[in-house]
Homo-oligomer: A and B are copies of this chain.
Amino acid sequence: MSCPYKQPAHQLTMIPGPIEFSDEVLYAMSTPSQSHTSTEFVATFLSTLKQLRKIFKSTDPKAQPYVVAGSGTLGWDMAASSLLEAGDKALVLSTGFFSDSFAEALRVYDINVDVISAPVGDVVPLAKVAEALQKTKYQAITITHVDTSTAVVSDIKAIAAKVRELSPETLIIIDGVCSVGAEDIEFDSWGLDYVLTGSQKALGCPAGLSISFASARAQAKVLSRAKPATFFASMKRWTPVMQAYEAGSGAYFATPAIQTITALNVALKQILDEGLDARLAKQAQVSDKFKQDLASLGLQIVPVSTKVAAHGLTGIYFPEGVAGGDLLAKIAGKGINVAGGIHKDIKTKYFRVGHMGVSAYRGDVGLVLQALKEALAELGYKK
């Protein structure tokens, strides 16, 4: 059935999230009011939770999806306050701004945090992770799968395998904000314990939802906790609510964001109808092509090699002699918003382009490239 809603022409949002949305997803946002316990909404939430299991490639019935009004930031809080306790030790692998922010969330709850920072544009070497795990007993390790500040992707499969080998009791917590739906994640077979994301990234739904997935053992830890450290971010309080909805009946801890969850359900269906692997391959292909085109223009990306470059966004250094602010303003003037830099060490030296979701299909990335070329030419840049 064709969608009765066509979104109007607008400034293209080609930042690493919020991404552009499909007409069908936006139409679902305008769903008329429903009770949070209505047959219709219970069916929607049930479908959303079931679909999330497929997004995480998980078949373990004891693994638990969560969808809560909030954002990726709330996911950090849920992990920090529900999976760890004061005095616990956590190892944080930092590949940028967002990894460091996760560490900050952990410290709020008096968790002892050790941070291993990668050089800008690179990942933490596996040997360093192994060394730390052999020296100290950590209750958890946090890995930012793709740090949105550097556009670097960490090899969470290899890291998880190393953790399982050297310190099997350590919970493996993944910030998947810029990776879920854009990078492959095999939750069960890689032995992950908690992956969190936000709705507005590669899943292709407007902002407003914290989405996460917990393993059976993370779940056991959550439920055994006598006194969670927070109220709203308490996974223990949300677990029975999610279980009730997935079993086909409503339950209450807070009113769910009905319209946004309805839109998420549509967004997930669009991914799964195409096939998750096909979606990942398409985004990777568009990403690879974009990075090649940038190289042809003589531009340098932030990741030190394409091997550690993420597929959902690209971080690009401004070429010498081109003022960053001028370049972004010129691109904006051509109808496209891209994002400035946010990594403290290189903040003014680079910009970021998101190419997740529908933008990988609609030709949006070609428009960015064209606008970039024109803007560079207007600013006198020559390769």
Contact = CB atoms under 8 A, between A and B. Distances in A.
Band of interface residues on A? 35 or more
Interface in A73-105: 73-74, 76-77, 80-81, 104-105
B32 A10 contact: yes
Contact of A26 (B30, B40, B209): B30
A35 interface: yes
A18 B35 contact: yes
Interface in A207-243: 207-209, 227-234
Contacts of A69: 69-71, 74, 207-209, 257
A231 B229 CA distance: 11
A110 to B, nearest CB: 9
A38 B15 CA distance: 11
Tell me how many chains of this kind the complex includes: 2
A256 B69 CA distance: 11
A21 B33 CA distance: 6
Contacts of A59: none
B257 A207 contact: yes
A30 B38 CA distance: 22
A247 to B, nearest CB: 19
A29 interface: yes
Contact of A32 (B8, B33, B73, B208): B8
A176 interface: no
Nearest to A206: B259
A108 interface: yes
